[in-house]
Structure 1
Amino acid sequence: MIPEIGHYALVLALLLAVAQSVMPLVGAARRDVAWMETGRMAAFAQLAAITISFAALMQAHVVSDFSVLNVVNNSHSAKPMLYKVSGVWGNHEGSMLLWVFMLALFGAAVAGFGRNIPPTLKARVLGVQGLIGVGFLLFILVTSNPFARIYPAPIDGNDLNPLLQDPGLAFHPPFLYLGYVGFSVAFSFAVGALIEGRVDPAWGRWVRPWTLVAWASLTMGIAMGSWWAYYELGWGGWWFWDPVENASLMPWLAGTALLHSAIVVEKRDALKTWTILLAILTFSLSLLGTFLVRSGVLTSVHAFAVDPQRGVAVLGLLILATGGGLLLFALRAHVLKIGGLFSPVSREGALVLNNLLLSVSAAVVLIGTLMPLLLDAFGHKISVGAPYFNFITPFLTIPLVMVMALGPFMPWKRADLGGILSRLWGVALLTLVSVMLALWLAGVKPVMALVGIAMAGWAGFGAVWEVADRVKLFRVPLADSLSRARGLPLGAWGTAVAHGGMGIAIAGMVGTTFWLAEDVRVMKLGDKALIAGYEVTLDKVEDLRVANYQTEMGHFSVRRDGDLISTLTAERRWYPVAKMQTTEAAIHTTFYSDLYLVLGEENPGGGGWVVRLYHHPLVPWIWIGSLVMVLGGCLSLSDRRLRVGVPARRAAPVSPALQPAE
């Protein structure tokens, strides 16, 4: 009965999405307050309906209702409760239901918190959100019904993909979807502005918080996915340039450019058409990621579906949203007034260069991801992997990081580059110290590692120096500096923290990429292995049965200078229902590095087990830096100036032009 309620609620949500997409758009065109208000109420009702539907699917998974096909295909009675819950979105149908739930959540948030948005723009934004909802709800109901029944019901299920039975994958998709779907609001604001033919600083201020929410969520989602791949897949890496990894990176790059471009619109009433275009392209790249994961054109541990028919349906949604948005842009962009002029050497100029580099980076990743697929369709086989991306990326990231530190020091409209550089002597000195320290610890080679450390220092210390410069640290009494620091807007703190987090993450990427130590050997009980100053001993290997899997568990003791510093456990798991094996790496983490151990298969010849040992310098800094970037986004989001619902305005008489239609 409950699955049927969930299905009916999904059908009701579709009808409400139709109402939300039609009535506010018509109301805005007719200047009819009642019709526009109906769109707001439909957004709340749609969220309630999809919440009921999502709760119904979750209940089916929690109680192991094997009369529901989705539960049969993705669950098992012996599965731990955490993975019964996360299994709701660990499959194609459930993940699409999570997608529309997030979409409805953002629509309701616009309806509830956008009190200061002009009524017609708000109605158009809700209408476009409703149109997106109609497309995805139709897709779910026609091709991906999560409540389809099976008769007779089997006694047990087929279990969830063992790779997804991990805490990292329990929380990674919701954050990723918050990012993907969050950019739909920026898209809707862009389409609404094109229809109205007006973009002004207020529009930039309204669109920024929604972009910040999406950007911070996507940053967290990508970081969690990278962390999961690092410790779960057992290969010792944190980024593989997997096409599905790239699918999340592309909207992050475009969204970062959008975020900076919206600042120029807000502060200088410039870059309007560029910002509108970025909003359309960012959401389009989010839809492209959905297509790649669900079309069956890719083989990846991240992919959810291999059904070409579903892929064609998602491709249709992608073409409609992207094509419609770009067509409207082509027809209406000329009506947007050109904003303020500025010198190339200015904060606006730095942000423009920043946007260009980010956009080119997204294009490079897009080409490298799609080119093999396009050529394969014409019978040509090529492989585009890490060498392509690793070769091109430095040419884009080095100037990007240099500009990232320079930009906040530049005034709006016009700047003196010589004067700006003279203010950055401290950053240059600290960057040089960082390079000399790396040179002393790791030697001259590889040279690119020293360049990378220089970029990390330039970004990180540049962010700290910018705050110190604004509070006049060491130039006025300390009490005055602290008073100035308390008076800085949270948006300024957020920018500095996010830029500093990027510097920390770059240092982690450089350290683990260039200074990785690796050793693969066969170890018997009692054998010792030396790596990066650690002495690792294999103490015991035991077989256990845990929950819904069997495990071969290797116990290691780790010593340094004769002192025991840690005991680690690495596993090889076998899931009999899914007939799949996974690895669980053992990791000893310090602030500076990771010692990483993987237990392989038992050696049939001379006994013992294959053990892979890695030492990853600075790798924890990748995720520390990512969390710091998310913190920066949250600080900016908490700035009162970016809260779309404040300050509250006094009630005003309704304009005659907005009276309800007769």
Structure 2
Amino acid sequence: MIAETGHYALVLALALAILQSTLPLWGARSRDAALMGLASPLAVAQFLLVAISFAALTHAYVTSDFSLVNVVENSHSAKPLIYKISGVWGNHEGSLLLWILILVLFGALVAVFGRNLPARLKADVLAVQAMISTAFLLFVLITSNPFARVNPAPLEGQDLNPLLQDPGLAIHPPLLYLGYVGFSMAFSFAVAALIEGKVDAAWARWVRPWTLMAWCFLTLGIAMGSYWAYYELGWGGFWFWDPVENASLMPWLSGTALLHSAVVMEKREALKIWTILLALLTFALSLLGTFLVRSGVLTSVHAFAVDPARGVAILMILTVFVGGSLTLYALRAPVLRQGGIFAPVSREGALVLNNIFLTAACAAVFIGTLYPLALEAATGEKISVGAPFFNATFGPIMLPVLLIMPFAPLLAWKRGDALRAAQGVTVALGVAIVATAMVAGFVRGGPTLAPVGVGLALFAIVGAFAEIAERTKIFRIGLGDSVRRARGLPTSTWGGAFSHAGLGVTLLGVVAASAWSSEAVVALRPGETVKLAGFELTFEKIEQRPGANYRSAVAELTVREGGAVVATVEPGRRFYLARKMDLSESSIVTFGVSQLYASMAEARTDGATGLRLQYKPLVVLIWLGAVVMAFGGALSLADRRLRVGAPRKAARRAPVMQPAE
């Protein structure tokens, strides 16, 4: 009965989505306040219905209700509770339901917290958001019903893919979807602005918080996915340029460009047409990622290889929304009034340059990801585009972005002073030069340009705080005065600095882990020792350990440094009984921000155990940098000026002096 309630809630949500996508839109055209006012309650009600449906599916997984096909194919009664819950979105149908839940959640948030939005714009935004939910609710109900029954019900399920039975995969998809789907708000605001034919600085202030929120979640989602691949797949890599990885990177790049473009629009009412286009394309790239994962057109550990007919349906949704919005853009963009004029050397100019390189990097990833698919569809020829292509194109394009980042905040709006901005980053430049020289002189091995990469990363980290140093006049006035100035800075200023510094931290981790990692692939017997990066690893034993729904063989290695025991690593292999699948489980020991990584190969016939041992210096900085970036975004969101619905404080009036009698 609970499953039927969930299915019925989806049907009712579809009915409300259809009403929400039509009545408020008609009300905005006819200036009917009553019809426009329906948008908010409909959005909230739609969210509640989808939440009920999602809760019903979660209940079926937690209670192992094997009368549902979806639960039979993706769960098992012996599976730990956390994986029963994460199994809800570890499949095609459930992940789409989560996608819709987050979509309608954002619509409900706008309905509740968008009280200061103009009535017409709010009605249009919520109507466009409902059009998207209508399409996906129809798709789920017609092609991917998560509540389909099986009769007779089997006694046991087939279990979840063992690769997905991991805490990281319990967190990664929700974070990623909050980013993907969050950009739908920027899309809805952009389409609403095109319908109204009005885009101004106020529009940029309204759209920025939603875009920034989505960007923060997507940053964390990508980082979590990267770390999951690093420790779960057994090869120790943090990025493989997998098509599905690229599908999440592309909206992140365009979303980053959108955030910077919206700043220019808010401050100077410039780049209106470009900002609208970026809002449309960012969500289009999010939809493209949804299509790639669920269409069956590619093979990936991240992808749900499903019936290609479903992929065609998603492609139709992609075509309608992207094609329709771009058609509307082509018709309406020429009538949008252009904004202010600015000099090439200005903060606006630097942000435009930033946009150019970010979109070029996004285009490079787009071409490298989709070209093999397009070629195979056109000619039947299969090719692979891997790391060499992306390293040769993406890296050089992103290099200017890192160089521009410290300069841009030091330039004035409208017309800036390049010499003064250059003087503001002299400390960062000095740190970068000294670091490059020291690494080149004292660190042996690695690519020739690796020291330059370290210097560039430190230039970005130190330079990120150049604007704060300039505005607080640190070391030029008393420390107490500088602290008071720092406290008075807007949180968005601190947020921007931390976000830029986080990118430098990630770059530092990427350079160090890629250039100076050590690896040993060995076959050891108990008592044998291998040396790696100053450590001695002694293979002690191998033992069998039972699990909830698997059995495992675990190798124990003692790690010594300078003769003293510093750690133990226990890589293993798990055999999942229901799926009949063998999976490597890596073991990682962290030393500061560096890691010792061990994984075990398949069983050998000669009695030895195959091991892959790696030492990765500063590798933790890759994911720490992403956390710092998201923290910076959260600081910016805390800025009262970016809060949708937060009323402005009234200015304090000076007391009126009474005339003397």
Q: TM-score, normalised by structure 1?
A: 0.97
The C-alpha deviation readout for 1:542-584, integer Å capped at 9, x for no partner, is 0121100010111111110011111121110111211111111
Q: 1:339 corresponds to which residue?
A: 339
Q: 1:156 corresponds to which residue?
A: 156
SS in 2 for 1:547: coil
Structure 2 Cα separation of the partners of residues 445 and 591 of structure 1:
21
Q: 2:397 corresponds to which residue?
A: 396
Cα contact 2:272–2:339 (8 A) shared by 1: yes
Q: Quote the offset at 1:306 in angstroms.
A: 2.4
Amino acid in the other structure paired with 2:191: V
Q: 2:237 corresponds to which residue?
A: 237
Q: 2:419 corresponds to which residue?
A: 418
Amino acid in the other structure paired with 1:561: G
Amino acid in the other structure paired with 1:439: A
Structure 1 Cα separation of the partners of residues 482 and 419 of structure 2:
26
Q: 1:653 corresponds to which residue?
A: none
Structure 1 Cα separation of the partners of residues 255 and 447 of structure 2:
32
Q: Quote the offset at 1:447 in angstroms.
A: 2.3
Structure 2 Cα separation of the partners of residues 420 and 566 of structure 1:
48
Cα contact 2:593–2:620 (8 A) shared by 1: yes
Q: Quote the offset at 1:445 in angstroms.
A: 4.7
Structure 1 Cα separation of the partners of residues 383 and 318 of structure 2:
25
- Does residue 147 (structure 1) correspond to residue 147 (structure 2)? The answer is yes
SS in 2 for 1:601: coil
Structure 1 unaligned segments of length 5 or more: list them: 651-662
Cα contact 2:264–2:271 (8 A) shared by 1: yes
The C-alpha deviation readout for 1:213-252, integer Å capped at 9, x for no partner, is 1000000000000000000000010000000000000000
Amino acid in the other structure paired with 1:388: F
Q: 2:285 corresponds to which residue?
A: 285
Change (3 A) 1:444 1:589: closer
Cα contact 2:406–2:425 (8 A) shared by 1: no
Structure 2 Cα separation of the partners of residues 27 and 450 of structure 1:
61
Q: 1:630 corresponds to which residue?
A: 630
Change (3 A) 1:287 1:543: same
The C-alpha deviation readout for 1:170-212, integer Å capped at 9, x for no partner, is 0000000000000000000000001111111111100000001
Cα contact 1:135–1:317 (8 A) shared by 2: yes
SS in 2 for 1:115: coil
Structure 2 Cα separation of the partners of residues 27 and 441 of structure 1:
70
Q: 2:577 corresponds to which residue?
A: 576
SS in 2 for 1:324: helix
Structure 2 Cα separation of the partners of residues 613 and 433 of structure 1:
33
Q: TM-score, normalised by structure 2?
A: 0.97
Change (3 A) 1:648 1:420: closer
Structure 2 Cα separation of the partners of residues 493 and 472 of structure 1:
15
Q: Quote the offset at 1:341 in angstroms.
A: 0.4
**1:483-494 → structure 2 map (5 Å cutoff):** 483-494=484-495
SS in 2 for 1:539: strand
Q: Quote the offset at 1:440 in angstroms.
A: 3.6
The structure with higher relative contact order (CA 8 Å, sep 6+) is 1
Structure 2 Cα separation of the partners of residues 141 and 191 of structure 1:
26
Structure 1 Cα separation of the partners of residues 438 and 621 of structure 2:
17
Amino acid in the other structure paired with 1:115: R
Structure 2 Cα separation of the partners of residues 469 and 584 of structure 1:
49
Structure 1 Cα separation of the partners of residues 207 and 456 of structure 2:
31
Q: 1:659 corresponds to which residue?
A: none
The C-alpha deviation readout for 1:76-121, integer Å capped at 9, x for no partner, is 0000000000100010000000000000100000111111111100
Q: Quote the offset at 1:588 in angstroms.
A: 1.0
- Does residue 8 (structure 1) correspond to residue 1 (structure 2)? The answer is no
Q: Quote the offset at 1:648 in angstroms.
A: 5.7
Q: 2:44 corresponds to which residue?
A: 44
Amino acid in the other structure paired with 1:19: L
Q: Quote the offset at 1:602 in angstroms.
A: 2.9
The C-alpha deviation readout for 1:291-339, integer Å capped at 9, x for no partner, is 0000000100000232100100100011111101100000000111110
Structure 2 Cα separation of the partners of residues 617 and 585 of structure 1:
17
SS in 2 for 1:343: coil
The C-alpha deviation readout for 1:380-439, integer Å capped at 9, x for no partner, is 222111100011122111111001111111111111212211221111111112212322
Cα contact 2:446–2:516 (8 A) shared by 1: no
**1:104-119 → structure 2 map (5 Å cutoff):** 104-119=104-119
Amino acid in the other structure paired with 1:407: A
Structure 2 unaligned segments of length 5 or more: list them: 651-661
Structure 2 Cα separation of the partners of residues 444 and 414 of structure 1:
45
Structure 1 Cα separation of the partners of residues 616 and 393 of structure 2:
24
Q: Percent identity?
A: 58
- Does residue 128 (structure 1) correspond to residue 128 (structure 2)? The answer is yes
Cα contact 2:199–2:272 (8 A) shared by 1: yes
- Does residue 327 (structure 1) correspond to residue 327 (structure 2)? The answer is yes
Q: Quote the offset at 1:443 in angstroms.
A: 3.5
Paired residues in the alignment total: 649
Q: 1:531 corresponds to which residue?
A: 532
Q: Quote the offset at 1:22 in angstroms.
A: 0.5
Change (3 A) 1:644 1:557: same
Structure 2 Cα separation of the partners of residues 299 and 306 of structure 1:
11
Structure 2 Cα separation of the partners of residues 481 and 386 of structure 1:
46
Structure 1 Cα separation of the partners of residues 442 and 467 of structure 2:
29
SS in 2 for 1:405: coil
Q: 1:457 corresponds to which residue?
A: 458
Structure 2 Cα separation of the partners of residues 25 and 387 of structure 1:
49
Cα contact 1:297–1:306 (8 A) shared by 2: no
Amino acid in the other structure paired with 2:183: F
**Which stretch of the first structure deviates more once superposed, 122-131 or 569-578?**
569-578
Cα contact 1:183–1:283 (8 A) shared by 2: yes
Q: 1:552 corresponds to which residue?
A: 553
Change (3 A) 1:445 1:527: closer
Q: Quote the offset at 1:444 in angstroms.
A: 7.1
Q: 2:654 corresponds to which residue?
A: none
Structure 2 Cα separation of the partners of residues 403 and 117 of structure 1:
35
Q: 1:592 corresponds to which residue?
A: 593
Q: 2:477 corresponds to which residue?
A: 476
SS in 1 for 2:124: helix
Cα contact 1:3–1:60 (8 A) shared by 2: yes
Cα contact 1:518–1:615 (8 A) shared by 2: yes
Q: Quote the offset at 1:466 in angstroms.
A: 2.5
SS in 1 for 2:89: coil
